[in-house]
Amino acid sequence: MRLTVFALAATSLPLSLGLSQNADQKLLGAEQSSFKEHGEKEARRQPNIIFILTDDQDFHLESLKYTPLIEKHITNQGTFFKRHYCTTAICCPSRVSLWTGKQAHNTNVTDVNPPHGGYPKFVKQGLNEKYLPVWLQEAGYNTYYTGKLFNAHTVLNYHSPYAAGWNGSDFLLDPYTYNYLNSSYQRNRDPPVSYQGQHTVDVLANKAYGFLDEALQHQDRPFFLGIAPVAPHSNVEAFALDGDVGDIEKLVHFTPPIPAKRHAHLFPDVVVPRTPHFNPDSPSGANWVRKLHQQSSDNVAFNDHFYRQRLRALQSVDELVDGLFARLEGKNLLDNTYVFYTTDNGYHIGQHRLQPGKECGFEEDIHIPLIVRGPGVEKGKVADIVTTHVDLAPTILELAGAPIRADFDGEAIPLTGKGIEKAEVKGERHEHVTVEFWGFAATEGKLWRKDEGRLILNNTYKALRIVGDGYNFYYSVWCNNEHELYDLKADPYQLVNLLHPDEAAKAPSTILGVPFAKVISRLDSLLFVLKSCKGQTCVRPWQALHPAGNVLNLHDALTSRFDYFYETQQKKVSFNKCELGYIVESEGPQFETDGLVYRHGLRWDEWV
């Protein structure tokens, strides 16, 4: 028996080694090619990088239509990545994923506040030494940042320890981060300063321009400049730094964002786009969303005001961008500077009857703007490859000519027209987004009903967004094991949850030419891999299921030869319990211990 096992282990060893070797080679290849390119163009300097990160900016509510200067300087002069997604639709987890290149299940920063999230959790996880600015300094950059870094980064804890990796920093700090007219910023090693009476985005613009001047005094090194305005996030007045989540109504006060006075009169007639899923007559979605009541006309009118305040608050960001480009042009920097524009997560107002907020898996919350301009980036192009926030740290390191880390959960986004074309070839680039969430959703507007509160608990789910040749799905499993599936090709507004018992009659008998259940089984197995994936497995999840490399996408996986493997053998995604954080024991079977790999339908240690 011993011998048999040994023999099996020996024969399977090369197989598994082969896989990791391939992955390593690919990784090494990427490193070498960017180093080589770098070496060849030694005369060319490493580029400067400016990263503008707004807070809660939507794509689907059309906010970008109201910022003509961003359109002029960035969109028209660069490439718009029309399928860009965040992986966790809330500020702190999303930002930590962005700056580390890792999914939230690998950072375990899953919330905005301790114990499961916030700046203290970021530090505790050892990430203050393992994130982008640190790597950029190692790659020879001077790094600057102003605005909001993370949540729970406060006037009390900003120095214990200081955020690492910045040559110059001027951070917005809690509890004044979202206080538009009484913000606190904290510069380098100085104590926090209160800006009572000044508009936070105008304060920020001057700090950003100041860091640009500072960077230009040290032209022996390229610079990275992060600019993170709080607009168009809600205005929040917080009265204490800690406290029980249950006391939220006493601790924080949400109001619509506050624009600068000069913008307060704009867009008097604009309302939230009245799409089919705006305050619909029938409930939609799953779980608590499906229990929401239709909003009253007063509620809708208030939310339209909330929406206008967001657009007005964004005007200051539009002006900041204009001021920034005036300086970049004036100093002749545009030939060697990349500018990224994105946000931490999206936003909904009224879709599916939701009050203003984020934290859901709907397109409004996860599908967000990403626009890039810079040398070699095509002007006015719209790219439709799937890209996510965990792809951004690798993208920036590649631009910097620095090594790509093997533990990244994403892959560099091609920025040139040629690179994008190559990525569009089947199997060249991932077509999925791993979406995950733990904890609560918050209502940021007014509370209109006693039975719909400020915080909605058990908002814990795993989801998969997948867009490929002929298909476009969102599939999710909630912590109470409710399931959700939208076929966005047929139902772009996600009004029909094909896995809800009430919608069963609407479910088609076949999708993509095969029975409905077949498709579900593949999506579930893919999510099973992704919900706990690490590194390259997050980028090439089909490889984990089919190490032979013959399955590159959903189409390939639908082959009937794999029916038994997916429909019968594979464990299903499920939860044992709803938790506020990433507690593995509550998250059902895990791929690493319970999943099967397709090798004659059996895992190698089951051949015995």
Task: Give the DSSP per-residue string, 46-89.
Answer: PPEEEEEEESS--STT-GGGG-HHHIIIIITTSEEEEEEE-SSS
586-to-103, 460, 592 alpha-carbon distances in Å: 18, 11, 15
Report CA 601 to chain centroid distance, whole Å.
35
Q: Which two tokens stand for residue 191?
A: 């104590």
- Say how far apart CA 85 and CA 98 lie, in whole Å: 11
Residue whose CB is less far from ligand NAG, 150 or 582: 582
In the complex with ligand NAG, which residue's Cβ is closer, 116 or 367?
116
- Our CB check for ligand NAG shows the closer of 222 and 547 to be 222
- Nearest approach, Cβ of residue 28 and ligand NAG (Å): 27
- 357: exposed, middle or buried (C-beta count within 10 Å: 0-12, 13-18, 19+)? buried
Q: Interface with ligand NAG by CB under 6 A: which residues?
A: 108, 115-116, 137, 142, 167, 176, 182, 184, 194, 196, 218, 457-458, 577-578, 581-584
| Nearer Cβ to ligand NAG (25/194) | 194
Instruction: Provide, rounded to whole angstroms, the least separation between the CB of residue 29 and ligand NAG.
Output: 29
Distance between CA atoms of residues 317 and 322, nearest Å: 9
Write down the least CB distance from residue 526 to ligand NAG, Å: 21
β-bridge mates for residue 142, sequence order = 223
What proportions of the chain, in percent to the nearest 5, are helix, strand and coil? 35, 20, 45
Residue count of the chain, please give it: 608
Q: How far is the CB of 244 from ligand NAG (least distance, A)?
A: 16
Check: CB of residue 441 under 8 Å from CB of residue 357. Answer: yes
Kindly tell me which of 185 and 475 has the beta carbon lying closer to ligand NAG. Answer: 185
Known catalytic membership, residue 92: no
3-state secondary structure of 547: coil
Our CB check for ligand NAG shows the closer of 346 and 361 to be 361
Least Cα distance to 52 among 225, 180, 231 occurs for: 225
Residue tagged active-site, from 86, 91, 360, 479: 91
Q: CB 516: neighbour CB atoms within 10 A?
A: 17
Distance CA 499, CA 575 (A): 17
* 201 and 317 Cβ atoms separated by less than 8 Å: yes
Q: Which two tokens stand for residue 151?
A: 């949540």
- Supply the minimum distance, in Å, between the C-beta of residue 121 and ligand NAG: 6
By beta-carbon proximity to ligand NAG, the closer residue of 70 and 360 is 360
How big is the chain by its Cα radius of gyration, in Å?
24
- Min. distance of Cβ 330 from ligand NAG in angstroms? 21
Shortest distance, position 93 Cβ to ligand NAG, whole Å: 12
Q: Which residues are catalytic?
A: 91
